[in-house]
Amino acid sequence: MIGVKSGPCIGAIVLCLSAVLVIAQPGFLSIDCGSTANYTDALTGIDWVTDQGYVTTGINTAPVSKTGGSPDNLTQIWDNRFFPERQKNCYTLPTEIWSTYLIRTTFRLLDKGQIVNDLSFQLFIDSTPWTTISYSPSSGAPSLDTVRVSEAIINSTRSKINVCLVRGHGNPFISALELRKFDPTMYAAKETGLNSGQMLFLELRWNLGMPVGSQVRYPDDPYDRFWPPYLRLGSILCPGTLNSSHPNLVLPQLSGNRVPRKVMQDACVGTESQPNIEFSLSFSATVQIFYGIIYFQEIDDNATATNVRSIRIQVHFNDYEANDFNVTREVNQDSSTSFNLSNSAFSATLSRLPESRLLPLANAAEYYFRNNVSSNSTDANDASALERVKAGFNLPDYPGDPCYPAAWDWVVCDANSQPARVSQVITSEYNTKGVLDPAINDLSQLTSLLLDNNQLSGVIPDLRGLTKLLTVELQNNNLSGAFPEYLLLVPSLMKLDVSNNNLNGALSTCPGAKLNFSCDANPLFDCKQILDSCLGLGGGGASIATVIGGVFGGLFALSLIVVCLVLIMHAKKKRALAREAALSQSQNGIKVKLVARGPYSSNFNGDENTARFTSEQIQKLTNNFEKKIGQGSYGAVYLGELDTGKKIAVKVHDAMSRQGINEFINEVNLLSRVHHRNLVSLLGYCEEMDQQVLVYEYMGNGNLREHLGGNLETKEPLSWKTRLDIAIDSGKGGPYSSNFNGDENTARFTSEQIQKLTNNFEKKIGQGSYGAVYLGELDTGKKIAVKVHDAMSRQGINEFINEVNLLSRVHHRNLVSLLGYCEEMDQQVLVYEYMGNGNLREHLGGNLETKEPLSWKTRLDIAIDSGKGLEYLHKDCHPQIIHRDVKSSNILLDENFVAKVADFGLSKAGPDGGFESGISTVVKGTPGYFDPEYFMTQRLTYKSDVYSFGIVLLEVISGVPPFNSQLPDGSIGTLLEWVKRQLPTNILHIADENINGQYSEDVMIRVIELAVSCIALESVRRPDMEQIVRVLCEVRDADFPVESVPQSPFSVFTPLSSSVSTSLKSTDSSGPAAELVLSSACLDRTNIDASYQVTIPAGLSKLARGDVEGS
């Protein structure tokens, strides 16, 4: 998204092309997606081809007749290819290895009737995320002329590239797909990252000397880059322009990125009244690595060897040094730079140096953001096996990686493995008529093989390599040959169904007791008799006496066995439940995270020094447990050595020990997160099957007891000074380790202390989904809030541990402070600081209706405070945290109405991939605040909190609860229904009547706009919390200025970003425009994003009047 300093914002990108006749273009591939015939474009001379040979799925839409309009409406955007069936559909483009390519996609929705609900899908290059394409009829009918273009630059490392469309909501589609090969010298600078495993995604490209008019492209640019006039994107302050059309002025041969002459012969220049050139950009998503280039070339006849144009370029970013240089007749792109952005904005200033009489000049500019090329892929052996299995099934082609960016429709992958492994093959009811290829046996991690209800023929191949199978369903096929009896002995197999086939043979082995085995309706395979025999139902010839004796003897023996089994199973069940509970907690990031894979590289609980070892590694490190150096109540201790030569102590659990899984988990969990020079260091652990091993640093002098008269009595006795030093050291470790999570401010209380602090739970001050809240008081007189878990609550031990672990390590003035906890038997209690003014919901029309309504300033302050708390969780916490239950009742207010976010029981550690990335998890939260994208996809992102916060903002503005509320007009409904009814014409009716006269209309409109952007259906369209807080601070300072706080000259509210966007709007002259575009600038509501737009209903913003583009 572009931040505007000044100047108008003109429409969207119009594909204006030069009509020049050319011949076929080497290095070009231009696919008109949905076209039925090849052709040559009359405007550019570019040869366009159909999809055939590049994609095997999808259907063509009937082309729409081009009537009227502009000659810029190209032929290739008048038809589409839709993909109504698969989750992933890929185009395969041929490339040359180690060559640089531009990839461009174009999307134009031909008929709004093609979508009923919101349409969105993701675009990937191989497995690397590119962008999201969205159309939302609920926010205004999509214009038939909306064209969206995205560009990427990639260095191909293979002979093909897959461009994949992955379904989100509705059917993906595409209008055009283009491949342009670049010269090897282009974009080869180190800063591009193209030669170090990164891609470039275009943010914008400018022709700086051309304010309006047609964009420059092929054939003026031999590589067919689009160079639009700078005013189309409206994010540069260009005081004047200079055009060098003098016929005698010869531009030198271009080099580097080969900017076309037609672009370089114009330039943006400063003027005497406005000498500087200002650039300003902002992005909705956090751009980690930003790459920008500004091109300079002297085209002024007044510039001579003695009258040189000297320029300073100053990037306003941290301590970035200014760059001074002279503009010459050669192209200069020394200003190219690449750096990490600490926020989502970028700005730069071009000024002349004091010794120069000529004002600054710039001819062109490009801005990209860099992203790592994803290394995600499927295991090579699995991928090869799947290709053979696919051929055996006679399935249609499935291009792209089997597992990434989404799995083939008949494959399930385990993405926790890298590379990914195939865990399930499912072709049930695919009506396949082929054979089961023996290559299926190479899928060694396969757990489910579901091939039922097809027309498969041939024999069942050898499946002995599939040792992890749980389910095999081959019923209702035409399989023949001998039944593979070894399948009955696969230890892991739980279900095997081969019924209704043509198998033959006889069973000689009984299936395992846990195996659900079906083999009916195989005419040549009579398995019923042997199965009956296995179940003890077959006949026999023994006498009555033998039978009676056998029965009673058997019953007596059986009774003994049953008793033993019950005792054994009871013990095992207790151990299993303990392990399951502990591991369940670990999966939520609370306790032991038993998922690490490498010996020293895997992180445990966020601590890089705690590794998970395998049993084989433990054996190797101890040389097969060669040297025993100690024995304790837990088990034996052995000497070991790491690959680095560092000695270690390896403590192995003894099955006869009274200590077990709980003590093991406790030890790992505590020592992996507390570190002190006087506490022994845990280096790692091993937990496999029933074996638990702890790996410590080696302490060469044994233990204190051994030196005070134990095993080491013959050694020199310890001196008095040494004894004192040992006492001091061990004493220092004690108080440090006694606090939970290593945090000295988080105390552990006993149940007796809790009763005393609350005066036996005398005063109840609240009730939530977790349980009741009671008022308490510490011995210091400080009031506390004590939340006691209700046994009937749906929240439990996981939420309790989550809350304790999170709040004991995050501290911020706008997050409620956890003072301690109690965890005894089945009781879980949380102790917080007391917030004297309850929660925000109570002051907006809930339990505290009789109190004075909150003022507008107080509401803004509360929104800012709570926003800052969430911003801290999303950005500054390590690891970052998604709250997952943001709502007005979870925003608590202290005596001074300072707001603090509370209730972290459902919180999750955030993903590493930035604000747009997510984690798959079960949907939890509160109705009315659910992010609809999270609800539909079960993929949680930081923007899920943003959606919930948007609902809270609407509550703050209106005072109306989000769900089943009595609305201001007397009807019953939801807050969103109320807001939607007001938006077209009555936006200010949303505001609570209790704050009438306390705000300026422009500010209120701006806050409502912000709230609406937060609840955009697609998460990529929402701002992040940092942007939200900064906008709220701006509007608060606008209505309630504070002299000591400097006012920001421009807004940082940036709801969007990506590559290049085009929007050709048409409106009815008698009615309002179909859409307005929400801008990143404070006062500009029509700025065009580079790949997609946030739209708000026409008439919403008074600040946007007059900015709607007509037909």
> In this predicted structure, what is the pLDDT of residue 301?
81
Residue of 809 and 743 predicted with greater confidence: 809
Residue of 341 and 304 predicted with greater confidence: 304
- Helices of type H across 456-512: none
Q: Are strands 411-414 and 628-631 parallel, antiparallel or unpaired?
A: unpaired
Q: Extract long-range pairs of 703-706: CB within 8 Å, 24+ residues apart.
A: 704/730
> In this predicted structure, what is the pLDDT of residue 633?
74
Residue of 907 and 595 predicted with greater confidence: 907
Q: Determine the Cα–Cα distance for residues 559 and 551; give it in Å rounded to an integer.
A: 12
The two three-digit tokens of residue 75, written as one number:
């032929």
Q: Determine the Cα–Cα distance for residues 997 and 1019; give it in Å rounded to an integer.
A: 34
User: Helix or strand or coil: residue 91?
Assistant: strand
Burial of 1088 (0-12, 13-18, 19+ CB in 10 A): buried
Q: Residues 36-70, buried b or exposed e (16+ Cβ, 10 A)?
A: eeeeebebbbbbbebbeebbebbeebeeeeeeeee
Asked which of 348, 374, 400 is the last residue of a domain, the reply is 374
Q: Determine the Cα–Cα distance for residues 251 and 126; give it in Å rounded to an integer.
A: 40
The two three-digit tokens of residue 13, written as one number:
């990108």
Averaged pLDDT, 658-681? 67
Q: Do residues 271 and 315 share a domain? A: yes
Asked which of 679, 700, 721 is the last residue of a domain, the reply is 700
Q: Do residues 858 and 984 share a domain? A: yes
- Does 578 map to a domain? no
> In this predicted structure, what is the pLDDT of residue 363?
87
- Does 544 map to a domain? no
Q: What percent of the chain has a predicted confidence (pLDDT) above 70? A: 70
The two three-digit tokens of residue 674, written as one number:
């507390």
Q: Give the domain CATH number at 908.
A: 1.10.510.10
Confidence at 1102, pLDDT banded by 50, 70, 90? very low
Distance of CA 156 to the CA centre of its chain: 25
Range list of β-strands (E), 961-1073: 965-966, 972-973, 1061-1063
pTM for this structure? Answer: 0.49
Least confident stretch, 117-131, 376-390, 779-793: 779-793
Q: Do residues 285 and 214 share a domain? A: yes
Q: Determine the Cα–Cα distance for residues 578 and 663; give it in Å rounded to an integer.
A: 10
Burial of 1043 (0-12, 13-18, 19+ CB in 10 A): exposed
pLDDT tens digits, 1016-1044: 988 889 999 999 999 999 999 888 875 43
> In this predicted structure, what is the pLDDT of residue 987?
87
**What is the average pLDDT score of the chain?**
75
Q: Do residues 363 and 503 share a domain? A: no
> In this predicted structure, what is the pLDDT of residue 19?
26
Distance of CA 1011 to the CA centre of its chain: 22
**With contact defined as beta carbons under 8 Å apart, do 1027 and 283 qualify?**
no
Q: Give the domain CATH number at 113.
A: 2.60.120.430
CA Rg value for the chain: 35
Q: Determine the Cα–Cα distance for residues 201 and 359; give it in Å rounded to an integer.
A: 32
- Asked whether residue 192 carries a pLDDT value surpassing 80, the answer given is yes
Question: Count of CB atoms within 10 A of residue 708's CB?
Answer: 13
Burial of 399 (0-12, 13-18, 19+ CB in 10 A): middle
- Asked whether residue 1007 carries a pLDDT value surpassing 90, the answer given is yes
**With contact defined as beta carbons under 8 Å apart, do 820 and 747 qualify?**
yes
Q: Which of 402, 413, 412, 400 is closest to 125 using CA atoms?
A: 400
Averaged pLDDT, 195-217? 84
Q: Determine the Cα–Cα distance for residues 141 and 694; give it in Å rounded to an integer.
A: 62
- Asked whether residue 558 carries a pLDDT value surpassing 70, the answer given is no
Q: Biggest alpha carbon distance in the chain?
A: 126
Confidence at 204, pLDDT banded by 50, 70, 90? confident
pLDDT tens digits, 820-842: 888 876 678 999 999 999 899 98
CA distances in angstroms from 848 to 589, 841, 860, 861, listed in the order given: 37, 9, 19, 19
Q: Extract long-range pairs of 245-253: CB within 8 Å, 24+ residues apart.
A: 246/301, 249/299, 249/301, 251/297, 251/299, 251/329, 252/329, 252/330, 252/331
Q: Extract long-range pairs of 576-579: CB within 8 Å, 24+ residues apart.
A: 578/660, 578/661, 578/662, 579/661
Averaged pLDDT, 240-262? 67
Q: Determine the Cα–Cα distance for residues 782 and 745; give it in Å rounded to an integer.
A: 14
Q: Do residues 897 and 1031 share a domain? A: yes
pLDDT tens digits, 350-360: 899 999 999 99
Q: Do residues 316 and 415 share a domain? A: no
- Does 322 map to a domain? yes
CA distances in angstroms from 1006 to 108, 117, 1050, listed in the order given: 31, 27, 14
**With contact defined as beta carbons under 8 Å apart, do 282 and 1052 qualify?**
yes
- Asked whether residue 819 carries a pLDDT value surpassing 70, the answer given is yes
Least confident stretch, 238-242, 339-343, 404-408: 339-343
> In this predicted structure, what is the pLDDT of residue 145?
56
- Residue 787 annotated in ligand binding: yes
Q: Fill in the amino acid letter for 284.
A: S
pLDDT tens digits, 516-531: 898 989 988 877 766 7
User: Helix or strand or coil: residue 674?
Assistant: coil
- Does 438 map to a domain? yes
> In this predicted structure, what is the pLDDT of residue 152?
96
CA atoms within a 13 Å half-sphere pointing along the CA-CB vector of 506: 3
> In this predicted structure, what is the pLDDT of residue 113?
55
Confidence at 736, pLDDT banded by 50, 70, 90? very low
Q: Fill in the amino acid letter for 551.
A: V
- Does 278 map to a domain? yes
557: which residues sit within 8 A by CB, 6+ positions away?
none
Least confident stretch, 78-87, 136-145, 1102-1111: 1102-1111
* Host H or E run for residue 801: helix 797-807
Q: Do residues 367 and 473 share a domain? A: no
**String of DSSP letters for 734-766:** HHHHHSGGG-TT-EE--HHHHHHHTTTT--EEE
CA distances in angstroms from 21 to 35, 41, 43, listed in the order given: 22, 9, 8
Q: Determine the Cα–Cα distance for residues 503 and 456; give it in Å rounded to an integer.
A: 12
Range of the structural domain that residue 320 is part of: 207-374
Confidence at 658, pLDDT banded by 50, 70, 90? low
- Asked whether residue 92 carries a pLDDT value surpassing 70, the answer given is yes
Q: Do residues 276 and 358 share a domain? A: yes
Q: What percent of the chain has a predicted confidence (pLDDT) above 90? A: 28
pLDDT tens digits, 603-627: 233 343 467 888 888 889 999 888 9
DSSP assignment letter at 227: B
- Does 155 map to a domain? yes
pLDDT tens digits, 687-700: 876 678 889 888 88
> In this predicted structure, what is the pLDDT of residue 556?
41
Burial of 1008 (0-12, 13-18, 19+ CB in 10 A): buried
Q: Fill in the amino acid letter for 657.
A: S
384: which residues sit within 8 A by CB, 6+ positions away?
439, 442
Q: Do residues 397 and 446 share a domain? A: yes
> In this predicted structure, what is the pLDDT of residue 748?
82
- Asked whether residue 659 carries a pLDDT value surpassing 70, the answer given is no
Q: Do residues 363 and 387 share a domain? A: no
Total number of domains in the chain: 6
The two three-digit tokens of residue 428, written as one number:
């049930």
Tracing tokens 């170090």 back to the chain, one arrives at 196
Q: Do residues 880 and 993 share a domain? A: yes
Residue of 744 and 867 predicted with greater confidence: 867
CA distances in angstroms from 687 to 618, 661, 662, listed in the order given: 11, 9, 12
Q: Give the domain CATH number at 238.
A: 2.60.120
Asked which of 700, 726, 756 is the last residue of a domain, the reply is 700
Residue of 502 and 585 predicted with greater confidence: 502
Q: Do residues 939 and 873 share a domain? A: yes
Confidence at 1097, pLDDT banded by 50, 70, 90? very low
Categorise residue 622: left if φ over 0, alpha if ψ from -120 to 50, beta otherwise.
alpha
Least confident stretch, 758-762, 927-931, 1048-1052: 1048-1052
- Does 14 map to a domain? no
The two three-digit tokens of residue 569, written as one number:
């199973």
Confidence at 81, pLDDT banded by 50, 70, 90? very high
- Asked whether residue 715 carries a pLDDT value surpassing 70, the answer given is no
User: Helix or strand or coil: residue 486?
Assistant: helix
- Asked whether residue 266 carries a pLDDT value surpassing 80, the answer given is yes
- Does 7 map to a domain? no
Partners of 1063 in beta bridges: 146
> In this predicted structure, what is the pLDDT of residue 1033?
93
Q: Give the domain CATH number at 615.
A: 3.30.200.20
Q: Dihedral of the CA atoms 490, 494, 498, 499 (nearest 10)? A: 150
**With contact defined as beta carbons under 8 Å apart, do 1055 and 1 qualify?**
yes
